C-alpha cells in the first residue's frame, strides 16, 4: 500500500527536477491518483474522487493528456512541458528519473502488454513507443521516433521506425608533409 510518506518523497524528487508550476500541478494530480489507485480504504476512495475531478479539469481539459492513475512512475519524473498531449496506456510502467516530453505515446499493438521505461530513460517530444517493449536504463528516444523494439541500456534511438544511432569513427585527414 502506498503511504503518504512515499507519495511525498516521490513528489519531492519530482519537484527537484521540475521547477515550473505547471509540471508540478500535473505531478501532484497524478500522484494523488496513483496513491488512491493502490489504497482500498476510505482515504483511497477520497483520493480517487479528488483525482477524478482534478484529472478531468487539469489533465484532460487543460493540457490534453491521458495519464492513468494505474501507471506507476518512480520518483524524479521530469515533465518539461507538463506532459501536454501525452497518452499513456494504463498498463505502462515508468521508472525513476525518467524524462517525458510533450505528445509522447506509450501504447499497445495486438495485445495487452505496454511499454516499460527503465530508470533514467529520456523520451523526446512526439515519440511513440508501441507494444511490449522495454526502454533500457539511461536510454534516449529522439523526438518523433517510433519505437517498436526493445532499446538496450544506454542507447539512443531515432527515426521512423526507430533504430540505434551508430557512432562513426572520427575521420582524420592525412598528415601534411613536413
The whole-number pLDDT of residue 79 equals 97
Q: What is the pLDDT of residues 143-159, one digit of tens each?
A: 999 999 999 999 999 99
Domains and CATH numbers, the chain: 4-164 (2.160.10.10)
The whole-number pLDDT of residue 1 equals 41
The whole-number pLDDT of residue 168 equals 57
Tell me the three cell numbers of residue 29: 494530480
Q: Which residues of the chain have pLDDT under 70?
A: 1, 167-178
Query: From CA 72, how far away is CA 60, in angstroms rounded?
Result: 19
The whole-number pLDDT of residue 170 equals 52
Query: From CA 156, how far away is CA 50, in angstroms rounded?
Result: 39
Query: From CA 123, how far away is CA 143, in angstroms rounded?
Result: 7
The whole-number pLDDT of residue 174 equals 55
Report whether 152 contacts 121 (CB < 8 A).
Answer: no
Helices (H) and strands (E) in the chain, counts: 3, 12
Amino acid at each position: 500500500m502506498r503511504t503518504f510518506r512515499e507519495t511525498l518523497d516521490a513528489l519531492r524528487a519530482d519537484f527537484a527536477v521540475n521547477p515550473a508550476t505547471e509540471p508540478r500541478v500535473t505531478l501532484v494530480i497524478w500522484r494523488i491518483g496513483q496513491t488512491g489507485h493502490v489504497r482500498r480504504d476510505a482515504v483511497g476512495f477520497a483520493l480517487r474522487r479528488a483525482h477524478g475531478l482534478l484529472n478531468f479539469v487539469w489533465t484532460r481539459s487543460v493540457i490534453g493528456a491521458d495519464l492513468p492513475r494505474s501507471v506507476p512512475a518512480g520518483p524524479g519524473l521530469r515533465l518539461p512541458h507538463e506532459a501536454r498531449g501525452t497518452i499513456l496506456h494504463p498498463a505502462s510502467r515508468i521508472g525513476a528519473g525518467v524524462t517525458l516530453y510533450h505528445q509522447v505515446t506509450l501504447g499497445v499493438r495486438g495485445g495487452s502488454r505496454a511499454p516499460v521505461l527503465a530508470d533514467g530513460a529520456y523520451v523526446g517530444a512526439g515519440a511513440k513507443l508501441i507494444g511490449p517493449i522495454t526502454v533500457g536504463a539511461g536510454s534516449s528516444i529522439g523526438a518523433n521516433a517510433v519505437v517498436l523494439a526493445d532499446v538496450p541500456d544506454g542507447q539512443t534511438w531515432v527515426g521512423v521506425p526507430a533504430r540505434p544511432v551508430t557512432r562513426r569513427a572520427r575521420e582524420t585527414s592525412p598528415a601534411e608533409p613536413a
